[in-house]
Amino acid sequence: MNERDRDSSGRFKPEVSDEEILDAVRNHEPAGTSEVGDAVGLARQNADYRLRQLEDEGRIESKKVGHND
């Protein structure tokens, strides 16, 4: 069984650091969620969760991308 470290609250520590995610955002700017996830080896859903956490902390800003109909 794969043992992962836990933080002081008992939650698993992330396998990908915030810095790795921030580097992926910088390297692929403008970076979409899937691009960031692919760059660091996270599923899109996990990348989305982590990006939202970083946004809530004020470390990144999100931009709406898509059609403006």
Tell me the C-alpha distance between 69 and 66, whole Å.
9
Within 10 A of 3 (CB to CB), how many other CB atoms are there?
A: 6
Q: Which amino acid is at 63?
A: K
Q: How far apart are the first and last CA of the chain?
A: 50
Q: How many structural domains are present in the chain?
A: 1
Model confidence over 8-65: pLDDT tens digits?
Answer: 777 666 789 999 999 999 999 888 999 999 999 999 999 999 999 999 999 999 887 6
Question: How does residue 1 score in pLDDT terms, banded at 50, 70 and 90?
Answer: very low
pTM value is: 0.75
- 40 assigned to some structural domain: yes
- 10 assigned to some structural domain: no
Domain range for 44: 18-56
Cβ(4)–Cβ(12) below 8 Å: yes
